[in-house]
Amino acid sequence: MDVQVVNCMTCEEFVRVFGNVVERCPLIAAALWSRRPFSSTLELENGFNEFIDSLSIEGKEGILRCHPDLAGRELLAGTLTVESRGEQGQAGLTSLSSADALRMNQLNSQYKEQFGFPFVICARMSDKDRILQQLESRVRNQQLQELQCDIEEVKSICRLRLQDIYNRAAKSTKL
């Protein structure tokens, strides 16, 4: 997607296209529309990162709490966002054995109990074994260290979601 296409979007179009780059936080994309024109798509990506970094600790925790559990209730209920469903599928979380599913649920609960926000990881850059290992290890982190760790994962998710949007746009232009 050419950055000029992005710069020509109305705010409704922009929020429709980029509204879930940060999971269930359309407010962030909607805020970034104020920064047009962007000189490059990288500048838009940086905008997401900067906005996230500019939030207070509770604001960052709020972002994390808008994320679903991995292999959790929402996956079973079919209420995940399209993006999240795809990402959890790619990491093999939609076809866990009962034992792995149980283990992940226990660790997710323990993690949320510990920190007050869900465990977030860029699932597409991982797989179920690494996710289980990360859950087991990160639950021992300090509160602020773990908040920052989760927020960096949110940024990785953002980057891949933006790439998907650009790739889809490039494909549809070629058709």
Instruction: Round to whole Å and give the CA distance between 7 and 94.
Output: 37
The correct pick among 85, 112, 124, 155 for binding a copy of itself (CB under 8 A) is: 112
Least distance to a copy of itself from the beta carbon of 38, Å? 13
- Examine residue 30 and tell whether it contacts a copy of itself (CB under 8 A): yes
The correct pick among 32, 70, 157, 165 for binding a copy of itself (CB under 8 A) is: 32
> 68-107: which residues touch a copy of itself (CB under 8 A)?
none
Q: Closer to a copy of itself at the Cβ: 64 or 132?
A: 64
Least distance to a copy of itself from the beta carbon of 59, Å? 5
Instruction: Round to whole Å and give the CA distance between 148 and 137.
Output: 15
The correct pick among 17, 41, 43, 62 for binding a copy of itself (CB under 8 A) is: 62
The torsion angle over the Cα atoms of residues 171, 163, 129 and 119, rounded to 10 degrees, is: -130
| Chain mean position to CA 112 | 17
- Examine residue 37 and tell whether it contacts a copy of itself (CB under 8 A): no
- Examine residue 34 and tell whether it contacts a copy of itself (CB under 8 A): yes
- Examine residue 111 and tell whether it contacts a copy of itself (CB under 8 A): no
Q: Long-range contacts: 48-56, Cβ < 8 Å, 24+?
A: 48/21, 48/22, 48/155, 48/158, 48/162, 49/155, 49/158, 52/22, 52/28, 52/151, 52/154, 52/155, 53/151
Q: Closer to a copy of itself at the Cβ: 82 or 99?
A: 82
70 near 88, Cβ under 8 Å?
A: yes
Contacting positions for a copy of itself (CB under 8 A): 11, 15, 24-35, 51, 54-59, 61-66, 112, 116-117
